[in-house]
């Protein structure tokens, strides 16, 4: 079966889907507006199903013998009180390892983000991915249900939970104490936020994430590796102000915009995935962490 790509969809459908994914359109509104672009016997519901994630083929199997994985709970006194996340590390680690905090999209800790966490562990890191939805019962196993839960979170408490996750990782007995963060979409925005809050953060890699307020940028101490999609008008609209603030504060950053790509291009469970761009962005990310967390 041929894999669908973003090129198989009308650009307007992709914009509508982006609006639906990020809470700007209801499911009903998406179906109503997307119907005019359905051709060849397809329906708006078909388009939505085709654009939605499929978790059938993870890159790294959950039971890969090269890794040790587990679910860990940790306290967050300023947040919801307790959070849970997915921890992955090499099974045969020699000595202490640097750590990477992995921050999911706006659907919680789904199978794709667990896969990304395992990928980082195979590169020699301790990787930990908290589930922001844990206080609401955790990732529900359904993307639409997860997306509906997300606005119910108290964002101030959720931010505190991720600060607590950083603190936990920095003190983990198996870790060196050096911690980086990588985040995707909502998680990219969280990576940017954490960079403004954590002077000890060693590196931050936001993938197509919302930028922090310019007034908060001078607090950033970590070097940044920023990945954006060329067709992501929503996120790119905030880049000029962010770049100006970074330059004004002499903050080390690299910014890559991947030609022809859509928001979410790194997520290999959806048609918006761009294999060439994702592989390049990933190789840059791993090299960046190996350099900055050494």
Active site residues: 185, 232, 263
- Residues 91 and 172 sit within 8 Å (Cβ to Cβ): no
Q: Over 11-27, what HEC string results?
A: HHHHHHHHHHHCCCCCH
Do the strands 67-76 and 81-90 form a parallel or antiparallel pair, or are they unpaired? antiparallel
**Which token pair is 103?**
């921050």
- Residues 179 and 201 sit within 8 Å (Cβ to Cβ): yes
Three-class SS state of 127: strand
Question: How far apart are the C-alpha atoms of 23 and 17, rounded to whole Å?
Answer: 10
Question: How far apart are the C-alpha atoms of 78 and 119, rounded to whole Å?
Answer: 30
What dihedral angle (degrees, nearest 10) is formed by the CA atoms of 267, 58, 180, 107?
Answer: 60
Q: What are the b/e assignments for 242-263, b being 16+ CB within 10 Å?
A: beebbeeeebebeeebbeebbb
**Which token pair is 185?**
């979409």
**Which token pair is 72?**
């860990």
Q: Over 87-100, what HEC string results?
A: EEEECCCCCCEEEE
């Amino acid at each position: 079966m041929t894999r669908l790509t973003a090129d198989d969809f009308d650009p307007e459908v992709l914009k509508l889907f982006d609006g639906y994914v990020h809470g700007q359109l209801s499911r009903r509104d998406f179906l109503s507006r997307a119907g005019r672009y359905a051709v060849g016997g397809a329906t708006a519901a078909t388009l939505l199903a085709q654009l939605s994630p499929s978790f059938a083929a993870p890159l790294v199997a959950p039971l890969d013998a090269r890794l040790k994985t587990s679910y860990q709970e940790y306290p967050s006194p300023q947040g919801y009180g307790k959070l849970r996340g997915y921890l992955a590390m090499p099974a045969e680690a020699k000595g202490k390892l640097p750590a990477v905090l992995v921050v999911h999209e706006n659907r919680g800790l789904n199978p794709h983000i667990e896969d990304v966490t395992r990928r980082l562990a195979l590169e020699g890191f301790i990787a930990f991915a908290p589930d922001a939805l844990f206080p609401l019962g955790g990732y529900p196993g359904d993307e639409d249900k997860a997306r509906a839960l997300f606005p119910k979170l108290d964002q101030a408490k959720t931010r505190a939970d991720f600060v607590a996750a950083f603190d936990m990782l920095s003190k983990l007995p198996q870790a060196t104490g050096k911690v980086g963060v990588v985040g995707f979409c909502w998680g990219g925005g969280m990576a940017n936020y954490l960079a403004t809050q954590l002077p000890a953060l060693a590196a931050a890699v936001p993938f197509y994430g919302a930028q922090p307020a310019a007034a908060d940028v001078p607090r950033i101490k970590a070097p940044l590796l920023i990945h954006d999609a060329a067709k992501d008008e929503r996120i790119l609209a905030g880049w000029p102000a962010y770049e100006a603030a970074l330059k004004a504060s002499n903050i080390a950053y690299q910014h890559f915009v991947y030609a022809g790509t859509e928001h979410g291009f790194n997520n290999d469970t959806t048609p918006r995935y761009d294999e060439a761009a994702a592989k390049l962005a990933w190789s840059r990310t791993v090299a960046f962490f190996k350099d900055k967390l050494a």
